[in-house]
């Protein structure tokens, strides 16, 4: 067999990494690369005859076997891949948003045309996670995932923790260093992690999870005071993407900050590193950790998918059956208000007799037990800083508690990882 002939859409950070990594590879030939702007400065020198600003030269090119999509977003990426599949191309993509929002359509179309869609790079950058779940871990019944899937937010939270800095100050530093975008909304509000956990939960649970059923909360309200208190209590604050499913197919999938015990390995995943903790039977619990983004880590996963296709290409009429999507059943979504969690609550209250007793009474009336309640000093304005940690209780009840604390200011309400 000759070389696998590929076309690439997008020559940004990841695309450049893929191009560099494939140089000298004997099994793959890059036929065409489509870019938006031919004159944009790039870190790679690409021969003029293989670069184009017309995506049709990739997606409709009869000599190309695989289209590698690295532009991100839903549109026009979906239309490009739809056309490519209908023109007989296999697909490799790093597009987490596309998979979360239109993955079902894409996989169904690929199956109709007997093509494969591989997407290892879309979940955790350079960390191998999709192929291990589909192959080595295929005999397991996975029921829980806790993961750190966004390097930008993990970097910000780590710097806030280690330096006692505010969110606003660390964000500016992260933007200056290139860890955060000029508009950081996709990262800091949890969208990026939500897209990733949607697809990861679908694959792990073998039931389709819808992005609109994933609860999402970002890190913009986390204060340096919360970081200090968490440390005193034996925790770190992390943006956790979590997914749990019960025996009836009820899936609780969400992204939000959590207090993570220092005894938990995820508490020690710092800066731009990502990690995925998977629990199930018979494996128990395992953690996969590594670089979750960047030119070469992400390129590593993209190239791995390309070479997986190259190894099978032309040898079978039904390529990579274990890697295909066959999730016909949908998970039953669990609403956040129906979940059960422990909570950290930071309260500023008037320094008056009976305030702590009042907080305890409000919680007791909701059948909420308190693990700890701590007051440290009195401020110049005669207010007290009170920290409460609850036992496990229902989300809708803790929200009612917050509403009833009318004489107090609730500064932070953060869930505690189980």
Could you tell me what percentage of the chain is helix, strand and coil, using 3-state DSSP and rounding each to the nearest 5? 40, 30, 35
* Residues 6+ away with beta carbon under 8 Å from 140: 280, 281, 282, 283
The rounded radius of gyration (Å) of the Cα atoms in the chain is 24
Strand-pairing partners, residue 385, are 348
> Could you say which of 32, 89, 115, 196 is catalytic?
196
Query: CA geometry: angle at 367 spanning 363 and 373, to 5°?
Result: 40
Q: Is 366 a catalytic residue?
A: no
| CA–CA gap between residue 410 and residue 387 (Å, rounded) | 10
Closest CA to 4 of 38, 31, 27, 36: 27
Catalogue the long-range contacts made by 313-316 (C-beta closer than 8 Å, 24 or more residues apart): 313/1, 313/4, 313/65, 314/1, 315/1
Closest CA to 106 of 325, 330, 332, 329: 325
| CA–CA gap between residue 271 and residue 168 (Å, rounded) | 17
Which residues participate in catalysis according to the annotation?
196
């Amino acid at each position: 067999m000759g070389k696998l002939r590929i076309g690439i859409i997008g020559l940004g950070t990841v695309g450049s990494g893929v191009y560099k990594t494939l140089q000298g590879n004997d099994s793959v030939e890059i036929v065409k690369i489509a870019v938006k702007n031919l004159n944009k400065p790039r870190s790679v020198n690409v021969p003029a005859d293989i670069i184009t600003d017309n995506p049709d030269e990739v997606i409709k090119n009869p000599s190309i076997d695989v289209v590698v999509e690295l532009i991100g977003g839903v549109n026009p990426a979906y239309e490009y891949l739809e056309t490519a599949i209908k023109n007989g191309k296999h697909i490799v993509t790093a597009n987490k948003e596309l998979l979360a929002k239109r993955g079902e359509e894409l996989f169904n179309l690929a199956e109709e045309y007997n093509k494969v869609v591989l997407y290892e790079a879309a979940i955790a950058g350079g960390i191998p996670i999709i192929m291990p779940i589909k192959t080595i871990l295929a005999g397991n019944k996975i029921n829980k995932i806790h993961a750190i899937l966004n390097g930008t937010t993990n970097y910000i939270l780590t710097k806030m923790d280690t330096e006692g800095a505010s969110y606003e100050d660390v964000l500016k530093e992260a933007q200056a260093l290139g860890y955060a975008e000029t508009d950081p909304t996709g990262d800091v509000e949890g969208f990026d992690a939500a897209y990733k956990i949607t697809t990861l939960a679908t694959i792990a649970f073998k039931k389709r999870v819808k992005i609109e059923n994933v609860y999402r909360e970002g890190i913009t309200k986390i204060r340096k005071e919360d970081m200090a208190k968490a440390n005193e209590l034996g925790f770190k604050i992390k943006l956790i993407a979590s997914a749990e499913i019960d025996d009836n197919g009820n899936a609780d999938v969400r992204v939000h900050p959590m207090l993570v015990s220092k005894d938990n390995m995820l508490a020690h995943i710092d800066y731009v590193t990502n990690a995925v903790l998977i629990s199930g039977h018979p494996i128990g619990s395992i953690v996969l950790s590594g670089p979750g983004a960047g030119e070469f880590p992400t390129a590593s996963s993209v190239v791995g998918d390309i070479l997986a296709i190259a190894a099978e290409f032309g040898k079978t009429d039904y390529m990579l059956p274990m890697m295909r999507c066959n999730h016909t059943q949908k998970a039953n979504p669990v609403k956040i208000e129906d979940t059960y969690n422990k909570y950290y609550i930071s309260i500023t209250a008037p320094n008056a007799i009976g305030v702590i007793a009042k907080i305890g009474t409000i919680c007791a009336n909701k059948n909420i037990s308190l693990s700890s309640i701590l007051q440290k000093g009195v401020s110049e304005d005669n207010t007290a800083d009170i920290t409460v940690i609850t036992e496990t209780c229902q989300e809708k009840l803790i929200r009612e508690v917050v509403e009833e604390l009318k004489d107090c200011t609730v500064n932070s309400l953060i869930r505690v990882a189980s």
